[in-house]
Amino acid sequence: MTRPVRVVVADDHPLFREGLRALIADAEETALVGVAADGDEAVEVALRERPDVVVMDLKMPGRSGVEATREICRALPDVAVLVLTMVDEDGSVFAAMRAGARGYVLKGAGPDEILRSILVVADGEAIFGPAVAARLTAFFAADPGPAVTAFPELTARERDILTLMATGAANAAIATRLGLTEKTVRNNVSNVFAKLRVADRAAAVARARDAGLGAP
């Protein structure tokens, strides 16, 4: 008899996490081997348990789901990551794919679809929920037109500063690079936090890197 697919669930919502836990634990084809409530814990549990599949939410405290996916796929290339999230925007889909995710399914999917998606990615194939697949098809079929700018709510200067922040540059280095005063840089950094609705520099950097800006 083929052994069950070993699964880790990473989701910060307790009720949804419990529902997934029960679904996976009760199915004959799958076995739950770990749960995580944030991105850091997801990486830790995956490295410890070495599952076949990690079911990953994107929006979690600490390390984002995209960052956790990237780290897991780098350290454990044989582990398949299936993104299961409420987020269906193009940027998040492509960021997850670039990070190494093998599947992307929305949380509105039914239990049978979620289980089938887990088994598909465990078998080495890729899968996308119907809504995501339709978005991908429309994206690739459309006239590319002008390039879409990440974070259009930011001014050009704020975007330049965010990009340098994503490289790991401190305010002093950013000021030197752009020919600004440190006070001007600090004011722009505060504006970036407000416009991106993030609490601190780490969260802003995570958003920037998920969007493809900068590099550590």
Report pLDDT for 164.
92
The answer, yes or no, to whether residue 1 has pLDDT greater than 50, is no
Give residue-wise pLDDT tens across range 41-50: 999 999 999 9
Q: pTM, whole model, 2 decimals?
A: 0.65
Q: CB–CB of 12/57 below 8 Å?
A: yes
Please report the pLDDT score of residue 63 as a whole number.
86
Q: What is the pLDDT of residue 140?
A: 67
Question: What torsion do the CA atoms of 155, 159, 160, 162 make, to the nearest 10 degrees?
Answer: 140
Does position 216 have pLDDT exceeding 70, yes or no?
no
CA distance 52 to 147: 37
pLDDT at 183: 93
The candidate with the shortest Cα–Cα distance to 81, out of 115, 121, 129, is 121
CATH number, domain 5-141: 3.40.50.2300
Polymer length in residues for the chain: 216
Tokens representing 8? 């880790």
* Residue among 162, 196, 200, 202 at smallest CA distance from 178: 162
Q: Each residue of 73-131: pLDDT tens digit?
A: 999 999 999 999 888 777 788 888 889 999 999 988 899 999 999 999 999 998 987 77
Q: Where in the chain is the domain with CATH 3.40.50.2300?
A: 5-141
> Do 86 and 106 meet the contact criterion of CB atoms below 8 Å apart?
yes
| pLDDT given at position 212 | 82
In the chain, residues under CATH classification 1.10.10.10 are 156-210
- 11-61, pLDDT tens digit by residue? 999 999 999 999 999 999 999 999 999 999 999 999 999 999 999 999 888
Instruction: Please determine, for residue 132, whether its predicted confidence score (pLDDT) is greater than 90.
Output: no
Average pLDDT, the chain: 88
Q: What is the pLDDT of residue 142?
A: 63
* pLDDT value at 143 more than 70: no
Does domain 156-210 correspond to CATH entry 1.10.10.60?
A: no
- Rounded average pLDDT over 140-144: 63
